Structure 1
Amino acid sequence: MTCTRAISLVAALCSTALLSLPASANGGHFQVEDSSLIPPQTCSLETWGTREEPNTTWVTNPTCNFTGGSDWSLPVTYDVERDDIASVGLEYKRVLLNTGSGPALALMAGGQYQRATEEVDELFVTIPLSFQPMDMLALHVNGGVLHDRLADETYATWGLAATVKTISGPVLIAEMVDDDRREPLYGLGARFDIGSTRWTLDLGVSRDTQVDETAYTLGLNIPRLF
């Protein structure tokens, strides 16, 4: 898929969203971003482990909303085989539009520091758009750019996701992400409530068509630490 085709697809979906309702979040290990924030003056925690032969990584991602207008996240990636922290990120999200009766639009930006090279290797800006055409279905569209500082190249990025709320079972999530430099990644997942708590458990599988590898993920989401 070329960048021009991706932009056209995002524009078409944005037009559809003008007749839709706001949507809820995916979060966790899912790569397509939603356009919501956590409640003001609270912190949440998302953590997940991913196995993709021959590597296993574990990510801990605390997020805080200090003022009510934006989220700050600090994802830390731990390499299990090397028994060491591989990278530390910093991410910012702000809602640009949320009418309460229409689509929600946000701005997200961040970077990632790699300990192996001792420098920030990637910077990104993403515009997430979320809308809900029906009660059981939420859709998320992402469009943005990724700057690779090592290669001094900038790439267009895009993603699509659908979230389906089943009547009495888990929430089901399907997604696709892509950019100018590689082949698409496809993912499927299920989110389960944990008893009477607000905590949720994620199970996911994704297929990276660039390297022809499958990854399996187990995650835990704690929506409110305090």
Structure 2
Amino acid sequence: MQYKVSTLTLATLATTAVLTLGIQQAHANGAHFLVDDADITPPGECAVETWFQRASVGGASFHGLEVQPMCSTRNGWEIALPLAYNTSDSELAGYGLELKTMLSTDFYGGALALSFGVMRDHQESEFEGGFINVPYSAEISDAVMLHVNLGVEYDKFESDWNPTWGLASTFTVHERLDLIVETAGVGSDSPAAAVGFRSALNDRIELDASYARDFEDKVNVLTIGLNIAF
């Protein structure tokens, strides 16, 4: 099962009550995590990632739900359709299209992938932005994986491209339990950081959670997710 960062910023997320983490994707541990890994859903298979988020900023809180079905083609392209629902206002917030493929499984001792996507604001009925991301993953030891992300994102509201980056470590503490520590940022803004875990309930179902903090805009986000492969 693959993992990644979203395309909106935490500040935009909170102020618009659209809870789709927007620090550029580095899917290293689940769709809501900040950093993406260099992996995709096995060719010919599908998965659904679902997560609930609660964002807090300035004494106010916002809630949202995102569902992201994805399938990989036989020739190695993973296609995902993220749908964001604003539970605070009980309405569809946005939807998008994301594509991801492996570039190399042996790049300086690790794996290299490419992902890109676009997002549309359903409430405003307009294009919101897009991203291009290159995730790199390498095994440091039997229990530690390192994930590095570099990319750019387009902010339609500012009509500008901004560089993005992410860094994450996944620590295997048990056969079915990983701990995740990560940080990611956009341009020169102060980065966000998150800690979380992922637990494999069986070969097809995973439960995960994270707590993220955007230091630039002082936004806190608590997320609980469920991933099902089939």
Q: Which amino acid aligns with 2:32?
A: H
Three-state SS of the structure 2 residue aligned to 1:125 is: strand
* Cα 1:105–1:168 shift into 2, 3 Å: closer
RMSD (CA atoms): 1.8
Q: Which residue of 2 aligns with 1:70?
A: 77
* Structure 1 position 130 matched with structure 2 position 131: no
Q: Deviations over 1:183-206 (max 9, x none)?
A: 211000011222x45311112101
Checking the alignment, whether the CA contact within 8 Å between 1:27 and 1:34 is kept in structure 2 is no
Offset at 1:169? 6.3
Q: Which residue of 1 aligns with 2:223?
A: 217
Checking the alignment, whether the CA contact within 8 Å between 2:28 and 2:34 is kept in structure 1 is no
- Output the CA distance in 2 between the equivalents of 1:49 and 1:213: 16
Uncovered stretches (5+) of structure 2, i.e. residues with no partner = 1-26
Q: Which amino acid aligns with 1:137?
A: V
Offset at 1:68? 3.7
> Post-superposition, which runs of at least 4 consecutive aligned residues in structure 1 deviate over 4 A?
none
Q: Which residue of 1 aligns with 2:34?
A: 31
* Cα 1:25–1:211 shift into 2, 3 Å: closer
* Structure 1 position 153 matched with structure 2 position 156: no
**Equivalent residues, number:** 200
Q: Which amino acid aligns with 1:26?
A: N
Q: Any residues of structure 2 matched to 1:79-118 within 5 Å, and which? A: 79-99=86-106, 102-118=109-125
Q: Deviations over 1:157-207 (max 9, x none)?
A: 00000000003562100110101153211000011222x453111121011
- Output the CA distance in 1 between the equivalents of 2:165 and 2:28: 17
Query: When the two structures are superposed, what TM-score results if normalisation uses the length of structure 2?
Result: 0.82
Q: Any residues of structure 2 matched to 1:135-146 within 5 Å, and which? A: 135-146=142-153
Offset at 1:67? 2.0
Match of residue 211, structure 2, among 198, 205, 225: 205
Q: Deviations over 1:35-77 (max 9, x none)?
A: 1111111110110001013100111011100224110101101
- Output the CA distance in 2 between the equivalents of 1:27 and 1:146: 20
Q: Which amino acid aligns with 1:189?
A: G
Offset at 1:101? 9.0
- Output the CA distance in 1 between the equivalents of 2:188 and 2:120: 20
* Cα 1:115–1:38 shift into 2, 3 Å: same
* Cα 1:193–1:82 shift into 2, 3 Å: same
- Output the CA distance in 2 between the equivalents of 1:100 and 1:198: 28
Q: Which residue of 2 aligns with 1:55?
A: 62
Checking the alignment, whether the CA contact within 8 Å between 1:39 and 1:68 is kept in structure 2 is no
- Output the CA distance in 2 between the equivalents of 1:152 and 1:101: 35
Q: Bigger radius of gyration, 1 or 2?
A: 1
- Output the CA distance in 2 between the equivalents of 1:43 and 1:182: 35
- Output the CA distance in 1 between the equivalents of 2:41 and 2:107: 16
Match of residue 182, structure 1, among 174, 189, 196: 189
Q: Which amino acid aligns with 1:205?
A: Y
Checking the alignment, whether the CA contact within 8 Å between 1:188 and 1:205 is kept in structure 2 is yes
Q: Which residue of 2 aligns with 1:162?
A: 169
Checking the alignment, whether the CA contact within 8 Å between 1:40 and 1:66 is kept in structure 2 is yes
